[in-house]
């Protein structure tokens, strides 16, 4: 399914991930309200950003780390407004997620609705959980399994846990290979690594926390 999506729906050249293709236009049967949209707009062959973000999440889960990061950039409005030409094409704010992006000429790449989409929340989840690999587990621990490209040197996150404690999370990729977590410490104490994944339990005492993660080859985990 993902190979098919990559071939038919993801267009890095055009900068979007379509919901379906081709759009319903000259069909002998009526598929319903979806055909009420102009071909290439919203669900009818455009990018529906909710679903596009799920494609990114699936790519990350499959270990397609480079693709997942590139595809997330396809959905980032900042990446669509770098030049005056880009701004004219995109036609929307550079700081707001668009619910949809048109997928047929002459309007390929033009943003649809902004300020009115649940995909903004999914953008945050996919970036934090699928790419950076920071996930709450059972409300008792932080599961850390970054899926970043090897070209990233790492990243830092300031995070507030459910108990209101402030965590400073530093992830390093010193060897240029980000396949798995190979070492981790919480407040200077080593944490066990299982299958290239770190699980950081929430301490019982209050106060700020420092979580340091080192990435490396999967066979070193």
pLDDT, tens digit, 9 for 90 and up, residues 25-72: 988 888 998 998 998 999 999 999 999 999 999 999 999 999 999 999
Average pLDDT over residues 111-137: 95
Tell me whether residue 127 is in a domain. no
How wide is the angle at C-alpha 158 spanned by C-alphas 181 and 202, nearest 5°? 65
Are residues 12 and 61 both part of a single domain?
yes
Could you tell me if 112 and 149 lie in one domain?
no
65: domain range? 2-122
pLDDT band, residue 221 (cuts 50/70/90): low
Closest CA to 58 of 1, 132, 117: 1
CB-count exposure of residue 17 (10 Å: 0-12, 13-18, 19+) = buried
Average pLDDT over residues 199-221: 88
Distance, CA of 182 to CA of 175 (rounded, Å): 11
Window from 28-37, 117-126, 146-155, 188-197 with minimum mean pLDDT: 28-37
> Stretch 80-109: mean pLDDT, rounded?
95
Q: Quick one: which of 24, 20, 25 has its CA closest to 8?
A: 20
Only one residue has tokens 């990435």, namely 215
pTM above 0.85, yes or no: yes
DSSP conformational letter for 36 = G
**59 and 144 housed in the same domain:** no
**Boundary-marking domain end, from 65, 91, 122:** 122
For residues 29 and 11, which has the higher predicted lDDT (pLDDT)? 11
pLDDT exceeds 80 at position 220:
no
- Whether 111 and 98 have beta carbons less than 8 Å apart is answered as yes
- In this structure, the answer to whether residues 213 and 118 fall within a common structural domain is no
pLDDT confidence tier of residue 196, bands split at 50, 70 and 90: very high
The DSSP element (H or E) to which 90 belongs, if any, is helix 84-90
Average pLDDT, integer, range 125-137: 96
153 belongs to a structural domain: yes
The reply to whether 178 and 198 lie within a common domain is yes
Q: How far is CA 79 from CA 4, 25, 41, 96, in A?
A: 25, 30, 21, 12
Please count the other Cβ atoms lying within 10 Å of the Cβ belonging to residue 12: 13
What one-character DSSP code corresponds to residue 41?
B
Instruction: At 18, list the tokens.
Output: 């379509």
**In terms of domains, do 115 and 147 share one?**
no
197 has a pLDDT exceeding 90? yes
Q: Report the pLDDT value the prediction gives residue 95, as an integer from 0 to 100.
A: 94
pLDDT digits (tens, 9 = 90+) for 162-187: 888 899 999 999 999 999 999 999 99
State the average pLDDT over residues 140-145. Answer: 93
Mean pLDDT of the chain: 94
Name the band, by pLDDT with cuts 50, 70 and 90, for residue 195: very high
The structural domain count of the chain equals 2
């Amino acid at each position: 399914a993902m190979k098919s999506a990559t071939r038919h729906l993801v267009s890095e050249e055009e900068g979007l991930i379509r919901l379906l293709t081709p759009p319903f236009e000259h069909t002998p049967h009526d598929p319903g309200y979806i055909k009420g949209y102009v071909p290439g707009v919203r669900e009818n062959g455009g990018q529906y950003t909710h679903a596009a973000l799920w494609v990114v999440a699936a790519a990350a889960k499959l270990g397609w780390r480079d693709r997942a990061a590139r595809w997330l950039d396809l959905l980032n409005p900042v990446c669509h407004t770098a030049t005056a030409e880009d701004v004219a094409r995109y036609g929307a704010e550079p700081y707001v997620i668009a619910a949809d992006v048109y997928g047929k000429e002459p309007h390929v790449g033009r943003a649809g609705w902004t300020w009115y989409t649940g995909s903004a929340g999914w953008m945050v989840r996919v970036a934090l959980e699928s790419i950076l690999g920071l996930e709450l587990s059972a409300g008792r621990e932080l599961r850390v399994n970054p899926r970043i490209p090897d070209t990233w040197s790492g990243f830092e996150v300031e995070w507030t846990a459910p108990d209101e404690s402030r965590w400073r999370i530093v992830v390093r990729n010193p060897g240029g290979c980000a396949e798995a977590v190979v070492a981790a410490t919480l407040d200077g104490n080593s944490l066990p690594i299982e299958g290239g994944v770190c699980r950081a339990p929430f301490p019982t005492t209050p106060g700020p926390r420092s979580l340091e993660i080192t990435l490396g080859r999967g066979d070193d985990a």
